[in-house]
Amino acid sequence: MSTEQKPYDPSNRFAAAEFAMNPEPRCPCILLLDTSGSMGGEPIELLNAGIQQFQTELQGDDLAAKRVEVCIYTFGPVKKVVDFVGAAGFSAPTLRAEGLTPIGEAIEKALDALEERKKAYKDNGISYYRPWIFLITDGEPTDDTTNAARRLQEAEAKKSVAFFAVGIEDADMEALKKLSVRAPIKLAGLQFRELFSWLSSSLQSVSQSQVGEQVKLAPVGWAEV
The Cα 70–Cα 84 span in angstroms is 5
Asked if residue 7 has pLDDT above 50, the reply is: no
* Tens digit of each residue's pLDDT (9 = 90 or more) over 140-186: 999 999 999 999 999 999 999 999 999 999 999 999 999 989 999 99
Provide the pLDDT for residue 4.
42
Provide the residue ranges of all domains of the chain, joining segments of one domain with +: 24-207
**27-34 and 185-186: which strand pairing?**
unpaired
- Distances in whole angstroms, Cα of residue 104 to Cα of each of 36, 118, 120, 209: 14, 21, 25, 32
Question: Residue 12: which pLDDT band, with cuts at 50, 70 and 90?
Answer: low
Question: Residue 131: which pLDDT band, with cuts at 50, 70 and 90?
Answer: very high
Asked if residue 45 has pLDDT above 50, the reply is: yes
Question: 2 or 154, which is more confident?
Answer: 154
Class of domain 24-207: alpha beta
Dihedral of alpha carbons 146, 138, 78, 165, sign: negative
pLDDT, mean over the chain: 93
Identity (one letter) of the amino acid at 62?
A: D
